[in-house]
């Protein structure tokens, strides 16, 4: 995050970037927006004419082009200047054959022609004519390797992995192991698949509520678009529907942010408060003058950096500590994996590239087509043998096995007993109201206390038979797999009970 507020004007004529930041044309570091800072030391590798052309062209482009575009140009320029010091035909085409990215020459050609067309000196007309005559192409197909190869570490989550993330994150949040900002960001990414940079651009006012003709509430977020050429900060939006659970979490987080400001500045009205970033940076806490707040509240300066948000999401991997049933190792959680998951699941549902592009907020359906080419299969058949193999890895059981009802938290309350319809299988350790369907929902609940000697096998048999029945009736494996997480939880209980019974027998306590 930035360490100070945007600098005031000085004797040097400052230039406004496309995002509204002021930069010193002569400085070696330009801050273009909250996410993009350029170090221009690489220009020193160029000769005087080329260096002047590069700096002047960059200065013109930062006024109208998106910061990420300028950042990409600087990467290409830096790569070029590692191999040459002069912008001319000989150096350029020699570099093209060895550039370590097919995109760099395309970026450089566009950059050079733009500067020349602006009348910026330092480039010979002969070089420009040669560039125009030669086709410089990236010659690449837009794909997502992690999606195409079903990468277990970087690719889309399996259904079970995603269910475990949702369940475990709620548990960790309610237990105070996960902060509200982490939980809100994680749930937003999991439900919408938006890019981290889009989430960091959100303001509180983007949360909207409407009513249907039947007076049913509809919750949505006006998510700022980010990859459309020529747009400025928060110029374009895409309405994204969210469910009530996420709406409540985001409202809690928004109210917390508002209260942070009101505790300092009671005179700030609600209109201004709604201009606050939904995910603010620490700079908000440092402000002690209401004038500074109001001068910065509509820009991006008080918004969390996208890189920090991504780091916040990655840190949840350790907090949740979920073991992937596919790798046997801790599940890696990133914003991009949620995005890949939504795209992949949409393709599995039969949606085409155009619809997936709309879901993922792509301008075209070129990239979205990757999801439709090769969608991973979910488990076609889950029998007892396979469940026994997967259960120790999935770790879906969250409760505690007890020896008998007498050891239960509510041992004296007969209403706490959980039945499978014929026999009792455990006790509920919660005193609150629960509308979940017992005993199916109980096996993945942290309040469930299964009894050691209970007939858990009957529950497992019922679930496996029901899975096959639903599959036969609907012909849809995804619908049939809706209780797979519960099946693995019941299996885990059976395995743990078997282990405990063996230990009791060996110790003579059976």
The CATH code for residues 159-323 is 1.10.443
Least confident of 41-50, 74-83, 291-300, 377-386: 377-386
Task: Please check the confidence at residue 6 and state whether its pLDDT lies above 50.
Answer: no
Position 226 scores a pLDDT of 79
For residues 353-363, give the mean pLDDT. 84
Say if residues 108 and 80 touch (Cβ distance below 8 Å): yes
* Site of tokens 């999401």: 313
The 3-class SS string of 57-122 reads HHHHHCCCCCHHHHHHHHHHHHHHHCCCCCCCHHHHHHHHCCCCCCHHHHHHHHHHHHHHHCCCCC
Least confident of 6-15, 249-258, 424-433: 6-15
Least confident of 4-8, 136-140, 307-311, 366-370: 4-8
Task: Please check the confidence at residue 142 and state whether its pLDDT lies above 60.
Answer: no
Which residues are bridge partners to 449 per DSSP? 427
Say if residues 251 and 211 touch (Cβ distance below 8 Å): no
Position 3 scores a pLDDT of 39
Task: Please check the confidence at residue 498 and state whether its pLDDT lies above 90.
Answer: yes
For residues 213-242, give the mean pLDDT. 85
Least confident of 124-133, 275-284, 391-400: 391-400
Q: pLDDT-derived band of residue 459, with 50, 70 and 90 as boundaries?
A: very high
Position 232 scores a pLDDT of 72
Position 376 scores a pLDDT of 59
For residues 104-108, give the mean pLDDT. 91
Nearest CA among 46, 134, 48 for reference residue 89 = 134
**d(Cα 403, Cα 454) in Å, to the nearest integer?**
10
Position 382 scores a pLDDT of 77
Task: Please check the confidence at residue 268 and state whether its pLDDT lies above 90.
Answer: yes
Least confident of 8-22, 314-328, 463-477: 8-22
Percent of the chain with pLDDT over 90: 63
Residues 35-92 have pLDDT tens digits of 999 999 999 999 999 999 999 999 999 998 889 889 999 999 999 999 899 999 999 9
Say if residues 207 and 250 touch (Cβ distance below 8 Å): yes
Query: For the chain, where do the domains classified as CATH 1.10.443 start and end?
Result: 159-323
Residues 172-188 have pLDDT tens digits of 999 999 999 999 999 99
Position 78 scores a pLDDT of 95
Higher pLDDT, 363 or 438: 438
- Give Cα 38 to chain centroid, integer Å: 25
Q: pLDDT-derived band of residue 390, with 50, 70 and 90 as boundaries?
A: confident
Say if residues 442 and 448 touch (Cβ distance below 8 Å): yes
* Site of tokens 């995804």: 478
For residues 371-395, give the mean pLDDT. 76
Position 86 scores a pLDDT of 94
Position 438 scores a pLDDT of 86
Residues 278-290 have pLDDT tens digits of 999 999 999 999 9
Q: pLDDT-derived band of residue 352, with 50, 70 and 90 as boundaries?
A: confident
Q: What is the pTM of this model?
A: 0.77
For residues 408-426, give the mean pLDDT. 93
Task: Please check the confidence at residue 315 and state whether its pLDDT lies above 90.
Answer: yes
Position 8 scores a pLDDT of 43
Position 227 scores a pLDDT of 67
Identify the helix (H) or strand (E) that includes residue 234. none
Task: Please check the confidence at residue 378 and state whether its pLDDT lies above 80.
Answer: no
Q: pLDDT-derived band of residue 509, with 50, 70 and 90 as boundaries?
A: low
Higher pLDDT, 368 or 300: 300
For residues 427-433, give the mean pLDDT. 89
Position 137 scores a pLDDT of 65
Position 220 scores a pLDDT of 94
Task: Please check the confidence at residue 96 and state whether its pLDDT lies above 90.
Answer: no
Position 494 scores a pLDDT of 96
Higher pLDDT, 91 or 11: 91
Q: What backbone torsions phi and psi does residue 322 show, to the nearest 5 degrees?
A: -95, 135
Query: Rg (Cα) of the chain, in Å, rounded?
Result: 29
Task: Please check the confidence at residue 379 and state whether its pLDDT lies above 70.
Answer: no
**d(Cα 477, Cα 482) in Å, to the nearest integer?**
9
Position 506 scores a pLDDT of 67
**d(Cα 384, Cα 478) in Å, to the nearest integer?**
18
| Vertex 450 angle, CA 498 and 485, to 5° | 85
Mean model confidence pLDDT for the chain: 88
Task: Please check the confidence at residue 435 and state whether its pLDDT lies above 90.
Answer: no
**d(Cα 132, Cα 115) in Å, to the nearest integer?**
14
For residues 152-170, give the mean pLDDT. 92
Position 2 scores a pLDDT of 40
């Amino acid at each position: 995050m930035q360490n100070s507020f945007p600098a005031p004007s000085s004797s040097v004529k400052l230039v406004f970037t496309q995002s509204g930041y002021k930069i010193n044309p002569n400085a070696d570091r330009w801050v273009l927006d909250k996410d993009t800072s350029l170090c221009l030391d690489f220009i020193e590798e160029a000769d005087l004419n080329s260096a002047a052309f590069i700096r002047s062209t960059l200065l013109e482009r930062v006024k109208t082009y998106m910061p990420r575009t300028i950042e990409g140009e600087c990467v290409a320029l830096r790569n070029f200047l590692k191999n040459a010091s002069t912008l001319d035909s000989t150096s350029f085409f020699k570099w093209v054959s060895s550039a370590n990215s097919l995109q760099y020459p395309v970026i450089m050609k566009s950059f050079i022609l733009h500067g020349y067309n602006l009348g910026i000196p330092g480039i010979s007309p002969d070089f420009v004519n040669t560039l125009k005559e030669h086709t410089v192409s990236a010659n690449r197909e837009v794909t997502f390797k992690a999606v195409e190869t079903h990468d277990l570490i970087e690719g889309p989550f399996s259904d079970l992995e995603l269910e475990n993330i949702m369940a475990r994150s709620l548990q960790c949040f309610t237990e105070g192991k996960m902060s509200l900002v982490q939980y809100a960001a994680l749930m937003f990414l999991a439900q919408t698949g938006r890019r981290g940079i889009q989430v960091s651009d959100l303001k509180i006012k983007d949360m909207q509520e409407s009513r249907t003709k039947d007076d049913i509430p509809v919750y949505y977020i006006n998510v700022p678009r980010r990859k459309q050429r020529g747009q400025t900060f928060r110029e374009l939006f895409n309405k994204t529907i969210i469910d009530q659970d996420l709406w409540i979490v985001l409202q809690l987080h928004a109210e917390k942010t508002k209260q942070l400001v009101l505790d300092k500045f009671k005179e700030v009205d609600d209109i201004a408060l709604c201009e606050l970033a939904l995910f603010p940076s620490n700079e908000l806490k440092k402000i002690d003058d209401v004038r500074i707040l109001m001068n910065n509240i509509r820009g991006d300066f008080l918004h969390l950096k996208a890189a920090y948000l991504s780091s916040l999401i990655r840190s949840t991997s350790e907090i949740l500590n979920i073991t992937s049933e596919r790798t046997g190792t801790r599940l890696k959680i990133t914003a991009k994996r949620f995005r890949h998951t939504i795209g992949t699941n949409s393709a599995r549902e039969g949606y085409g590239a155009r619809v997936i592009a709309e879901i993922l907020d792509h301008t075209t359906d070129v990239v979205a087509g990757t999801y439709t080419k090769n969608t991973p299969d979910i488990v076609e058949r889950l029998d007892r043998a396979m469940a026994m193999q997967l259960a120790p890895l999935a770790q879906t059981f969250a409760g505690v096995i007890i020896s008998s009802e007498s050891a239960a938290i509510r041992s004296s309350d007969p209403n706490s007993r959980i039945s499978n319809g014929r026999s009792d299988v455990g006790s509920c350790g919660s005193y609150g109201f629960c509308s979940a369907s017992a005993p199916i929902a109980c096996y993945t609940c942290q309040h469930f206390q299964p009894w050691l000697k209970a007939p858990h096998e009957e529950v497992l048999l019922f679930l496996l038979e029901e899975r096959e029945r639903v599959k036969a009736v609907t012909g849809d494996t995804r619908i049939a797999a809706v209780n797979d997480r519960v099946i693995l939880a019941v299996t885990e209980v059976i395995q743990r009970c078997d282990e405990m019974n063996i230990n009791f027998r060996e110790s003579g306590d059976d």
